[in-house]
Structure 1
Amino acid sequence: MNRQARRIQTIYLTLLLGNTLAASFIWGINTLFLLDAGLSNLEAFAANAFFTVGMVVFEVPTGVVADTWGRRASYLLGTVTLAATTALYYLMWQVEAPFWPWAVVSMLLGLGFTFFSGAVEAWLVDALRFTGYEGDLETVFGRGMMVSGVAMLGGSVAGGVIAQVTSLGVPFLIRAGVLVVLFVVAFLVMRDLGFTPDRSTGTAKAVRGIVTASIEHGWRNPPVRWVMLAAPFASGVGFYTFYALQPFLLELYGDPDAYSIAGLAAAVVAGAQILGGYLAPRVRSLFRKRTTVLILTTSGGAAMLGLMGITEAFWLAVVLLIAWGVVFSVEEPVRQAYLNDLIPSRQRATVLSFDSLMSNTGGVVIQPALGRAADVYSYAASLGIGAVIQLMSVPFLVGSRRQHAPADTARTLDTTPSPSAAPTDATPSPSSVAEGESGRNPL
């Protein structure tokens, strides 16, 4: 890896570290926070569903922002939006607001995350191509998964402990403060490289052009379309599982006030992410096709959920949770690399946002449905149902495999400029890449 490409990766990893740290302060206690505010299980997971509704509604528009105004601009807007909405969450908890304000602010939280989704990943891949990086993307995304795991481990444990010694609201205030710091860092070090935002046409025309091209390179691109169709099942179950594990582990542990145990759920997933990120490029090297890895990990993750649903032993559930987290963390970098190799530069941020939209669509329906199953039956039963739903994504991954796309067997990043890539007329100087030695972004 050359010096300039290394700096791009460093910026990416730093932003990911900061974003994940900020988010993970509340990941371990979010469901408990909502229940403590007076919401029922159904309302708590419905609030999470409205968060995903916000992501569905705003994914493509914010992807267009990234493709027309720049990936850096999109990231900065995301930090501001998330800081403000996190502060509003804290205020609603203080006053025990009724459900409808939680629904509205949850949608705005989704807006904040859509400014990140697609934009940072597109920024990284375009900048790496621009600087001549010739390695495989799984390695970079795997390192990102490891950095994210480290941040999540520290943040989730700290969030659970802080909540136990202070209150469930304090981690939310810390998260808002970290996001403000990230805005300053990104403003100073992040630059769009290998991509020139096109602001020459009107906004409406630009939106129509980018969305049309994105549909062409996304939905009408068979290997991409099949992967997108698989996303709602696996992602919807993943969203629910992550947050349901908090009360589920507390139930098995036998102490509903042990908030540090709830933080353990997020911490265990974080540790599994570190291991999974390390293993991802190594597992990928064992198989000729990326889709083989995706099919095996999706099936394996469903099996872990099914086993969690029938265990009554706390520590066995923790072991299964570790296995589930490792499997997910091996899958994600391979999936990211596969999609990025299938998408042209000019439409990358918008197509990735459309993929995120598909993922979040599953969360809109599956989260409240499984939350209701937890109310009527139990958390264990809801996890078992989730395992069955996740398996529904496998036939779509098989459909992508059958397209025999070159990206399915690719080993390195293609540095040939895409026909749709914007022209650039300058080479990056060290100062234009970064004014420091750091970098990365979150979930």
Structure 2
Amino acid sequence: MVLPRPGGSGDTMNPAARTIQRVYLTLTLGNTVAASFIWGINTLFLLDAGLSNLEAFAANAFFTAGMVLFEVPTGVVADGWGRRVSFLLGTVTLAVSTYLYYLLWQLSAPFWMWAVISVLLGLGFTFFSGAVEAWLVDALRFSGYEGGLESVLGRGQMVQGLAMLFGSVAGGVIAQATNLGVPFLLRVGVLLAMFAVAFGLMHDVGFSPERSTSPMRAVHTVLTASIDNGLKNRPVRYMMLAAPFSAGVGIYVFYALQPYLLDLFGDPKAYSIAGLAAAIVAGSQILGGWLAPHARGLFHKRTSVMILAALVGAVILLVLGSTRVFWVALVLLALWAVVGSAATPVRQAYVNDMIPSKQRATVLSFDSLMGSSGGVVIQPLLGRGADLYGYPASLAMAGVIELIAVPFLLASRKQGAAADRASTLAAEPTREGPAETPRTT
């Protein structure tokens, strides 16, 4: 039996679900504006501080290593203490570590200091990863929402793209008008404002934290259940195994495009061009978020969207690595970002439909951990490739690496999970995992 295909982004919402969506979009807007102030100039900021290409991408690798190290513990915080608590801790941690980054730039600090603070930046982001998405899904289910997750997550990605468009362009222009450190101070200010917003608007709904008189017992309980519903759940496991290659490549490409495009443009001080690159990615996210439910409607299975996106994205990177024309590179960058952005909400909906509420944040955090682990290895590897062979060659190498994710996506598809064909927010999965439909060829 084939479920009806989703009909696009026109899902109706009851008032409670609409309120939940507004809060989610507000949190997404503020967090992305704060983060994106530096996205367009981060690599240039590190190079301006005296780091080499290898050291700059190694610093980014330490950031992702921090995410790997803290993803599961902060996921347990979200499932054990509450998603609101996790979000508030994230705003404070990220604000403090961002300010320390600014101080390192002023002091032209040695690399080991950048490595330490990069790990703390990773810690700040892990408080967000999993927590906000888990809060949204549980609150929507509690409110009685019966539409498709792709629609809500797609709107979130559109808001994220708008926020990134503003933040990245503003960051590049402000850096060119002042200096590379000012956007980092702006991020600190917005993060502190988001603490106040989340404190007033974000409340755990449809979810009860796993309270226990023994913190260690609570951690053990949540982790055990998360493994059962994560790594031991075959369709989820294969999605996690694909993540290091797709996410690791995505992180590298985004940051490598800054110096790559400046080199093509011919002016190493044109920081607004670096901001423009990030802005194009942001605009592509808006379009991709709008396309997500429509792309889902073209296929019977969610995995079809993800597999096609991985193949097309890899081909685009191979072509991007061969061009020497600035405007052609911008067009290819936009296409690459649209393809990946359209597949992201589909992947999120697929994974969320297979995770029980009690372990949702921890499993999502572990999924994020897998993606970050790819960045730990892939960023310095491709950064070194850029030092030896140039950025075009490193982008082509990135396209080859992304192809490694495809066999894992195919393996997840073969498990025949009910979530692969679902078109609406699924009922709460059991601890043993979601019901599965008969496998199809």
- Tell me the CA shift for residue 418 of structure 1: 4.9
Name the CA distance, whole Å, in 2 between partners of 1:397 and 1:361: 18
| Equivalent in the alignment of 2:24 | 12
> What's the CA shift string for 1:350-396, capped at 9, x where partnerless?
00000000000000000000000000000000000000000000000
1:322-401 equivalences under 5 Å are 322-401=334-413
1:82 aligns with 2:102: no
| Equivalent in the alignment of 1:230 | 242
Structure of greater relative contact order (alpha carbons < 8 Å, 6+ residues apart)? 1
> What's the CA shift string for 1:386-431, capped at 9, x where partnerless?
00000000000000000000000000002x44556xxxxxxxxxxx
| Equivalent in the alignment of 1:321 | 333
1:267 aligns with 2:279: yes
> What's the CA shift string for 1:190-219, capped at 9, x where partnerless?
000000112124111111111111111000
Identical amino acids, percent of aligned pairs = 70
Name the CA distance, whole Å, in 2 between partners of 1:17 and 1:201: 37
| Equivalent in the alignment of 2:129 | 117
Secondary structure at the aligned position of 1:311 is classed as coil
Name the CA distance, whole Å, in 2 between partners of 1:357 and 1:186: 24
Name the CA distance, whole Å, in 2 between partners of 1:140 and 1:196: 23
Name the CA distance, whole Å, in 1 between partners of 2:156 and 2:430: 28
2:355–2:429 Cα contact (<8 Å) kept: no
| Equivalent in the alignment of 1:255 | 267
Q: Which of 112, 115, 126 pairs up with 1:100?
A: 112
> What's the CA shift string for 1:56-113, capped at 9, x where partnerless?
0000000000000000000000000000000000000000000001000000000000
> What's the CA shift string for 1:8-27, capped at 9, x where partnerless?
00000000000000000000
Q: Which of 178, 184, 192 pairs up with 1:180?
A: 192
> What's the CA shift string for 1:236-259, capped at 9, x where partnerless?
110000000000000000000000
| Equivalent in the alignment of 1:29 | 41
Name the CA distance, whole Å, in 2 between partners of 1:264 and 1:246: 9
Secondary structure at the aligned position of 1:220 is classed as coil
2:150–2:346 Cα contact (<8 Å) kept: yes
- Tell me the CA shift for residue 300 of structure 1: 0.8
When normalised by structure 1's length, the TM-score is: 0.94
> What's the CA shift string for 1:283-335, capped at 9, x where partnerless?
00010000000000011111111111000100000000000010010010000
Runs ≥4 residues deviating over 4 A: 417-420
Secondary structure at the aligned position of 1:26 is classed as coil
When normalised by structure 2's length, the TM-score is: 0.94
Name the CA distance, whole Å, in 2 between partners of 1:401 and 1:296: 13
Name the CA distance, whole Å, in 2 between partners of 1:18 and 1:43: 30
Secondary structure at the aligned position of 1:133 is classed as coil
1:278-289 equivalences under 5 Å are 278-289=290-301
1:66-77 equivalences under 5 Å are 66-77=78-89
Gapped runs of 5+ residues in structure 2? 1-12, 432-441
Name the CA distance, whole Å, in 2 between partners of 1:399 and 1:265: 34
Aligned residue pairs total 420
Name the CA distance, whole Å, in 1 between partners of 2:42 and 2:27: 22
| Equivalent in the alignment of 2:71 | 59
Gapped runs of 5+ residues in structure 1? 421-443
Q: Which of 229, 234, 241 pairs up with 1:217?
A: 229
Instruction: Give the aligned residue type for 2:93.
Output: T
| Equivalent in the alignment of 2:154 | 142
